[in-house]
Amino acid sequence: MLDIGLLHRKEYDISDRSEPAVIAEAPGRVHFLGEHGEPGAGLYLSAAIDRRVQVAISIRKDNSLRFYAADLGERKRTTLINLKFKREDRWANYIKVAIHLFAELGLPVKGFSFTIIGDIPQQVGLGSSSAIELASAVALRNLLRVRISDQELLNRLIAAHALFFGNNADMVDYLIGLSARKDQFLLLDEASLEAERIKSPFSRCKVILVDSRVPRLGVESELNARREDIKAGLELLSQSREGASLREYATSDLVDYMGHLLEEIRRRSMHVVQEIRRVYDAGDCLRCQDIPGFSKIIYHSHESLRDLFEISCPETDWLVKRAQETEGVFGSRMTGQGFGGCTYALVKNDMVEEYKKRLEDYERIFGFRPVIHEVRIGTASRVVPK
């Protein structure tokens, strides 16, 4: 990435080379398994990636808040008195969440100048918005010398996001950004906000992200409908056998108790129950370095997203199938919201170029030119040494 310190000084006409006062960064992430689980009680197998957002901060002499997105060449401004969500402020709203967090602590939050840059691919479900919030929060914690733990920072970010935006934060994204380590997967429990690190057996591989470029319309309404189906499935199961979440049931329970339920609800619930098992099984495979077993689980997960949860599409199905047919690929699946979007593939380093060649037919078949990103499993949020 570009030198954010230099960009910051140039933007705000600062000659002092000790500025900005703080630079912090937070990573993007990939969910390998577990997306589209039970809301608020999901289990994920995820990892940070080596694409990140950086935020630089300087203290101002006035009470103005200035924001500069160097990648976009865009500038926003407000004041502490007017610190609120504005649709037109787009990316700057995520920095405001972090400012709000520390203002609520009663700290001497006054005027700041912010610069932001990043290389996380946009609009494909890799957690770029959460990374802005987390990088800003880590930077402000350091700048204001606030002694709060990562756990408290996470909890306060969740609360600040909900208050600021009026909706639930992607709390698992924060957890990944605070817990990640190089070459380690994370098995994450959304209900308890606990993270278990598991060493990756794929140190000689890259994660290849393929943006299908399929136009996506009405995605949120479709996903809301599926969330309602999951809720209805849990309510029915709970009438037959008490349980607080779908992780407490097995596939046999759905067969026994849900035969008279609408087929769509049965399929959605079946996906969630089976995906929970896949997350646990994938964790076991990683611990004992059973790569063939892990690969089968990944492919079965995509099949379930396609056939039971029904959020895939012909383009992403083709990408996954082509990966499955290519030597040196150890698993592929869609990631993100679905209905297009992105797939990932775990590809051996010396087979990456061959894998890319195998994707050349995609544009001829579907009419979209895919965008390919090569990433590796990355590290946690941090203050960048100056």
For residue 166, the domain's CATH number is 3.30.230.10
Asked, for residue 348, whether it belongs to a domain, the answer is: no
Q: Is 256 a catalytic residue?
A: no
Residue (of 170, 172, 112) closest to 140 by Cα position: 112
Asked, for residue 64, whether it belongs to a domain, the answer is: yes
Q: Which is it for strands 205-211 and 342-348: parallel, antiparallel or unpaired?
A: antiparallel
Asked, for residue 162, whether it belongs to a domain, the answer is: yes
pLDDT at 167: 85
Asked, for residue 76, whether it belongs to a domain, the answer is: yes
Domain of 115 in residue numbering reads as: 4-200+379-383
pLDDT digit string (tens) for the chain, length 386 residues: 889 999 999 999 998 888 999 999 999 999 999 999 888 889 999 999 999 999 999 999 998 999 999 999 999 999 988 999 998 999 999 999 999 999 888 887 789 999 999 999 988 889 999 999 999 999 999 999 999 999 999 999 999 999 889 888 889 999 999 999 999 999 999 999 999 999 999 999 999 999 999 998 788 899 999 999 999 888 887 776 666 688 877 677 666 665 666 888 889 989 999 999 999 999 999 999 999 999 999 999 999 999 999 999 999 999 999 999 999 999 999 999 999 999 999 999 999 999 999 999 999 999 999 999 999 999 999 999 97
pLDDT at 241: 64
Q: Max alpha carbon distance in the chain (Å)?
A: 72
Measure Cα distances from 298 to 5, 31, 209, 250, 278 in Å: 41, 11, 15, 19, 8
**How many domains does the chain contain in total?**
1
Asked, for residue 210, whether it belongs to a domain, the answer is: no
Asked, for residue 286, whether it belongs to a domain, the answer is: no
Residue type, 361: D
Marked catalytic residue, from 173, 211, 229, 281: 173
Asked, for residue 49, whether it belongs to a domain, the answer is: yes
Structure tokens that stand for 172 in this block: 């698992």
Asked, for residue 290, whether it belongs to a domain, the answer is: no
Round to the nearest angstrom and report the end-to-end CA distance of the chain: 15
Residue 189 pairs with which residues in a beta bridge? 43, 194
pLDDT at 139: 97
The answer to whether 37 touches 92, Cβ cutoff 8 Å, is: no
